[in-house]
Structure 1
Amino acid sequence: MLDSSAVDPRRFSLRGKKWKYRGEGNANLVLALPQERKIVRLRKCDGIGSNESEDVLAEREREHVWREAVFCRGIMVPLLGDSYIQPPTAARMDRAEVRRLDQTVRTQRPIHRHHKSLQFGYVTVYPDYALLPLQLSLSGMELRPTFCVEVKPKQGWVPMADRRMSKCTYCLNQYLKLKNGSIRHQSGYCPLDLFSGNRIRMMKALRALVSAPQNNLKIFQDGVLVYGEEVGSDLGTVLRCWFGESLDISSLIDRMCSLVLEALTRDLTGRDKLSDSETDESDSDIAVWERGCQGLLRPTSLPNGYDTSGHRAVGTSLTERIPSALVTAVTPLLPEPPCDWTVETLSTDCILGRILRMQKLDRTGADRVYDAFRSRTRRGGNDYGYVAGMLSAGTGAGPGLSPLHRYLLATTAKDCSIMMAFQRLLEHDWGRIPDKHVVRDLDGQPYVMNVGVTDLDPKPLSCIEKHRKRDCEVLAACLELLRPKTESDSNATCLTS
């Protein structure tokens, strides 16, 4: 499945198509095709390197889009379910067309993104989850606006071995963002609340996201971004257009959050359900991918010698991934209240439940994973060679998933985005939409709803070292911002060196 040289991605062109600039991140630029209800993701680059030809770099991009499509189809779809993911198609565009597109779209891009450009013709084509799929769109509904809420839930599970402090990973990272100036105020959002299964805490988390969206919440109207960190639209105006009510802003936010919570906790799966009784201690070292990767969603058994209660394996010693002196210095400085680690029952087959199960694949903790990473890098290999190993494990041809495999899959689940599209239903629409796709707001108004998951790319092995450096930087930022100012600033530098 990973032999990209055996298959040439199909040709694709934007000629004659209406498209819109949707947005971009550090690595990709996204265009929307409203009439086709598709999005096109194009890789960005810094330019042609002096030591490699354009053909070599283009071939690397071809391998990248092919791997992305195979990873999603062969691993993510079975893990999360085809009710929540439609796999992308790898395609290629004419290079000359891509260069013209680069010039055309440049005026719509943020200036701080202009240092990267589009140069190669390999793309991935996805469904546009900001819009409803055709099978949920009834005649006449196209005249009503479709609103979509995108949520990046982040890390709702922290392995026991990594719970050294009173704050979770996301909340600690707020201090690094403050230090770097990327935010002015800390968010009140905590992923542990959203994944808790407690409705009160989950609503609290969603309200906090609306209040301080950062990069974790966006609202689209008919595929156009209307609210988020980089958009200055008035939230009250957006929500009144959505709900058509002259309510106060607090009531409108509650109405939206209740709808989003219904979508996040609604079971949209059909076949291949996970029963709650099958998700305890019954992992048999990864069953079979064709059975929906259900074994992976029961991540409780570990290779011999591993201990989930601490961060050491039996009979081995670990590299000090993060200086213990830094942990000791920061721990008493963290303010109250601590993050709430308690959990209640969360439906196994709702999208939050599926993502949480995937995050729980990582049970060994970051220290053990880092040791395995160091051992592997000494043997050589590339950043994505492990993907073939995952596919082999799924078909029964390989030895099963290692702690590295599990960590990288869990990391993908920590960085994914959930997109929930809503459109108001009228009385004559009732009964024409499957019940599982109908949700109601606080006043009982029904909406047709769909859920899609994006940003499910395989993570490079090198991200493990990147995470170690980031975690050290996070604790150094905590120390700098929380330590009394009378103490020497040089102490933080000494502890992290």
Structure 2
Amino acid sequence: MCLPNLTRLQTYRFAEHRPILCVEIKPKCGFIPFSSYVTHEMKHKVCRYCMHQHLKVATGKWKQISKYCPLDLYSGNKQRMHFALKSLLQEAQNNLKIFKNGELIYGCGDARSPVADWRELAHHLKPFFFPSNGLASGPHCTRAVIRELVHVITRVLLSSSDKGRVGALRPGLRGPRVCEASPFSRSLQRQGKNTPERSGLPKGCLLYKILQVQMLDLLDIEGLYPLYNRIERYLEEFPEQRKMLQIDGPYDEAFYQKLLDLSTEDDGTVAFALTKVQQYRVAMTAKDCSIMIALSPSLQDTSSDQRPVIPSSRSRLAFSVSVLDLDLKPYESIPHQYKLDSKIVNYYSKTVHAKDDAVVPTRLKESEDCTLVLHKV
């Protein structure tokens, strides 16, 4: 299949002669599991992404742990979103890439220092955000350009769009709004401040829609895996039913309608198991999708343009937003996800959390009440 070049503005071909900046973000899963099937208490406190970071560094996948936490990006709180985006810029890993006129200029760098990378990135971005004000080079320039980039991306992510059908899929946001492992939250705790939980995502924005689809993972992999085994036993006895169950497609209107059943009461049937498994596959797809934000200078004399425009402090940028990596996650990957989940949680609990617990006795736990008892003397 021939895919469009999503590093370009998709809707406005007449603007192709203008420079194009494209930011690709993999936001990952934006909520903490709320399922009663979760057996590891840590999963109710720390998000999957933050736990997985420690395992990836331990196995040599990455050199250092990212400060990015998806719950900060999905919070809708601009302070938390800015911190999340800056963290992605500091440690992009596979979760952020920046293209200029279709060519990769930033992302996946693990060898160079973020300071050197940011200086080079600011050089590329300066014409987009400070086109004619003569902003000098140096650390101040770099910080100013990066700040503009972060603010513009935040505004685009919070902008509303009426496209899509996700409105019918509303599991409702449950569970903690703050990840205990988020460096942003920990920093505020050290200062004796509470983390601003969330300002709420506008219901029309892309992050809100992605989050709603992610939350079709109603049972967590711990509750889902036994249902997968139920289907497997059924298929062993009736292999000819695989096509009728639509495990391999087609992913049509009938498939979509089954996703609307948000019940979690297990009636013991294959039909219930199948619905939850298909919802999980869709949710996992949303958890691993990429957002492509294309930006291009909007000329002052183009008042007749119908393009959405985001203003920055010194410029106006037309933008388009696309989502990719939407191939449905394979049914056969569920056993792997179950094993990986256990591996991630066990490693985090035995290493990171164990170290935290060893430090806590030296001071009063914040969650515990302290009662002062006075005795007569």
In 2 relative to 1, CA 424–251 (structure 1 residues): closer, same or farther, beyond 3 Å? same
- Displacement of 1:481 after TM fit? 3.9
Partner of 1:214: 93
The alignment's TM-score, normalised by the length of structure 2, stands at 0.72
The SS at the match of 1:225 is strand
Partners of 1:341 and 1:413 in 2: CA distance? 25
Partners of 1:168 and 1:207 in 2: CA distance? 19
1:471 is the counterpart of 2:338: no
Higher normalized contact order (CA 8 Å, seq sep 6+, divided by chain length): 2
Q: Which amino acid aligns with 1:237?
A: E
Partner of 1:440: 311
The answer (yes or no) to whether the contact 1:219–1:228 under 8 Å persists in 2 is: yes
The answer (yes or no) to whether the contact 1:358–1:409 under 8 Å persists in 2 is: yes
Partner of 1:427: 300
Partners of 2:27 and 2:121 in 1: CA distance? 22
Partner of 1:200: 79
Partner of 1:366: 221
The answer (yes or no) to whether the contact 2:224–2:277 under 8 Å persists in 1 is: yes
Name which of 353, 367, 379 aligns with 2:208. 353
1:250 is the counterpart of 2:124: no
The answer (yes or no) to whether the contact 1:136–1:433 under 8 Å persists in 2 is: no
Q: What is the Cα-based RMSD across aligned positions, in Å?
A: 3.3
The SS at the match of 1:427 is coil
1:387 is the counterpart of 2:249: yes
**Cα deviation per residue 1:343-363 (whole Å; 9 max; x = unaligned)?**
332111111111011112222
Deviates more, 1:246-255 or 1:176-185: 246-255
Q: Which amino acid aligns with 1:235?
A: W
**Cα deviation per residue 1:357-399 (whole Å; 9 max; x = unaligned)?**
1112222232221110111112226697253476424368x97
Partners of 2:20 and 2:171 in 1: CA distance? 37
The answer (yes or no) to whether the contact 1:293–1:394 under 8 Å persists in 2 is: no
- Displacement of 1:341 after TM fit? 9.6
- Displacement of 1:426 after TM fit? 2.2
Partners of 1:175 and 1:395 in 2: CA distance? 38
Partners of 2:330 and 2:16 in 1: CA distance? 41
Long gaps (5+) in structure 1: 1-123, 273-291, 301-307, 310-331, 488-497
Partners of 2:166 and 2:79 in 1: CA distance? 32
The answer (yes or no) to whether the contact 1:193–1:340 under 8 Å persists in 2 is: no
In 2 relative to 1, CA 386–260 (structure 1 residues): closer, same or farther, beyond 3 Å? same
- Displacement of 1:407 after TM fit? 1.1
In 2 relative to 1, CA 251–340 (structure 1 residues): closer, same or farther, beyond 3 Å? same
Partner of 1:59: none
- Displacement of 1:480 after TM fit? 5.5
Partner of 1:262: 155
Partners of 1:387 and 1:243 in 2: CA distance? 47
The answer (yes or no) to whether the contact 1:219–1:226 under 8 Å persists in 2 is: yes
In 2 relative to 1, CA 341–366 (structure 1 residues): closer, same or farther, beyond 3 Å? farther
Partners of 1:362 and 1:412 in 2: CA distance? 11
Name which of 327, 333, 340 aligns with 1:457. 327
In 2 relative to 1, CA 343–372 (structure 1 residues): closer, same or farther, beyond 3 Å? farther
Partner of 1:236: 119
Q: Which amino acid aligns with 2:247?
A: G
Partners of 1:334 and 1:413 in 2: CA distance? 21
The SS at the match of 1:256 is helix
Name which of 142, 146, 149 aligns with 2:23. 149
Matches within 5 A, 1:117-156: 124-133=1-10, 135-138=11-14, 141-156=15-30
The alignment's TM-score, normalised by the length of structure 1, stands at 0.55
Q: Which amino acid aligns with 1:146?
A: I
- Displacement of 1:164 after TM fit? 2.5
Partner of 2:264: none
The answer (yes or no) to whether the contact 1:386–1:405 under 8 Å persists in 2 is: no
Q: Which amino acid aligns with 1:350?
A: C
The answer (yes or no) to whether the contact 2:68–2:84 under 8 Å persists in 1 is: yes
Partners of 2:342 and 2:256 in 1: CA distance? 35
The answer (yes or no) to whether the contact 1:409–1:458 under 8 Å persists in 2 is: yes
- Displacement of 1:402 after TM fit? 1.5
- Displacement of 1:427 after TM fit? 1.7
- Displacement of 1:479 after TM fit? 4.8
The SS at the match of 2:52 is helix
Long gaps (5+) in structure 2: 128-134, 262-270, 359-377
Partner of 1:120: none
Aligned residues: 306
Partners of 2:65 and 2:212 in 1: CA distance? 28
**Cα deviation per residue 1:50-98 (whole Å; 9 max; x = unaligned)?**
xxxxxxxxxxxxxxxxxxxxxxxxxxxxxxxxxxxxxxxxxxxxxxxxx
Q: Which amino acid aligns with 2:229?
A: R
Partners of 2:109 and 2:63 in 1: CA distance? 14
Q: Which amino acid aligns with 1:188?
A: K
Matches within 5 A, 1:239-318: 239-244=122-127, 245-246=135-136, 247-269=140-162, 292=165, 294-295=167-168, 297-299=169-171
In 2 relative to 1, CA 159–475 (structure 1 residues): closer, same or farther, beyond 3 Å? closer
Identity, % of aligned positions? 29
Name which of 403, 409, 416 aligns with 2:276. 403
Partners of 1:393 and 1:460 in 2: CA distance? 15
Q: Which amino acid aligns with 2:62?
A: I
Partners of 1:257 and 1:351 in 2: CA distance? 17
The SS at the match of 1:126 is coil
In 2 relative to 1, CA 333–262 (structure 1 residues): closer, same or farther, beyond 3 Å? closer
In 2 relative to 1, CA 406–344 (structure 1 residues): closer, same or farther, beyond 3 Å? farther
The SS at the match of 2:99 is strand
